[in-house]
């Protein structure tokens, strides 16, 4: 159910400041698109000619996110993500792996970056389409936590054919009501932003409005599992990898229609 501010998926909380860093060498490149630092990961093998737009969680540009974008490239997509935090992700405000730095005003940080992202994302998407697209290119979009509203906003427009989010935040009923395109929800059973009651309410909206959707729900993991899990735990690793695989297959189906 919605909270007193009308959120179904609540704003990101202190749990979003925690996580495990993953090892690996990202292979994409960064360049400026529409004035915003942008990561581009191109397929090295099979290339389906389509683009996945990537909207980061509050950790922004960090190794885990780059590797996930590379994962979508491995599935055949050119994956393109933007740094709407402008070099100021939450991981720069931690005194240790699990604790925020003293004096960090998380609420002010969120307010500042939401205002900027709300303003620039639509223009950035148009710039990506102009720079990287062709008349035959199709687009999908994926967002994690902070990025979920931008997925829903794009699915209410006409560029993307399908979208997905994992462990979402900052979502209101209107985000679900305005959807025009299919949505994949990759969720944790235990989630401080998108708990069982809120998740059920969101699904009820999608059912009432006859919106195409698919719900993937994992027990035994928590918010952040698809980006910041402990890869030394076999089940957490499985859930993370299965989330990405299933989202890519969702895109494969809808973009082939």
The one catalytic residue in 141, 167, 191, 229 is 191
E strands present in 73-118: 78-82
| Nearest alpha carbon to residue 72 among 136, 164, 181 | 164
Would you call 192 a catalytic residue per the annotation? no
The one catalytic residue in 70, 141, 223, 229 is 223
Neighbours of 24 (CB within 10 A): 11
Would you call 15 a catalytic residue per the annotation? no
Cα–Cα distance, 247 to 236 (Å, whole number): 17
The residue to which tokens 């990405």 are assigned = 244
Would you call 22 a catalytic residue per the annotation? no
Cα–Cα distance, 152 to 149 (Å, whole number): 5
Q: Which two tokens stand for residue 235?
A: 């089940």
The one catalytic residue in 145, 152, 160, 229 is 145
Instruction: Convert 183-214 to b/e letters by CB count within 10 Å (16 or more is b).
Output: bbbbbbeebbbbbeebbeebbebbeeeebebb
Cα–Cα distance, 189 to 172 (Å, whole number): 19
Terminal Cα-to-Cα distance of the chain (whole angstroms): 34
Instruction: Convert 139-178 to b/e letters by CB count within 10 Å (16 or more is b).
Output: bbbbbbbbbbbbbbbbbbeebbbbbbbbbbbbbbeebbee
Active site residues: 145, 191, 223
């Amino acid at each position: 159910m919605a909270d007193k501010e009308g959120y179904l998926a609540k704003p990101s909380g202190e749990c979003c400041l925690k996580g495990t860093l993953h090892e690996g060498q990202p292979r994409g490149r960064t360049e400026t698109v529409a004035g915003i630092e942008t990561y581009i990961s191109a397929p090295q093998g099979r290339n389906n000619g389509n683009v996945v737009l990537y909207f980061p969680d509050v950790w922004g540009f960090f190794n885990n996110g780059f590797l996930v974008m590379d994962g979508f490239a491995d599935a055949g997509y050119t994956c393109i993500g933007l740094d709407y935090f402008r070099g100021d992700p939450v991981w720069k405000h931690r005194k240790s792996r699990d604790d925020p730095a003293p004096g960090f005003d998380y609420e002010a940080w969120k307010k500042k970056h939401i205002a900027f992202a709300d303003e620039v994302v639509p223009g950035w998407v148009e710039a990506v389409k102009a720079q990287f697209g062709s008349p035959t290119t199709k687009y999908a979009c994926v967002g994690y936590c902070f990025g979920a509203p931008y997925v829903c906003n794009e699915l209410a427009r006409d560029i993307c054919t399908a979208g997905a989010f994992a462990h979402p935040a900052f979502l209101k009923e209107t985000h679900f009501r305005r959807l025009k395109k299919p949505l994949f929800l990759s969720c944790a059973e235990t989630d401080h932003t998108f708990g069982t009651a809120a998740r059920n309410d969101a699904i009820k909206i999608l059912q009432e409005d006859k919106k195409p959707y698919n719900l993937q729900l994992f027990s035994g993991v928590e918010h952040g599992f698809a980006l910041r899990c402990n890869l030394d735990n076999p089940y957490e690793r499985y859930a993370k990898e299965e989330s990405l695989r299933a989202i890519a297959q969702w895109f494969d189906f809808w973009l082939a229609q």
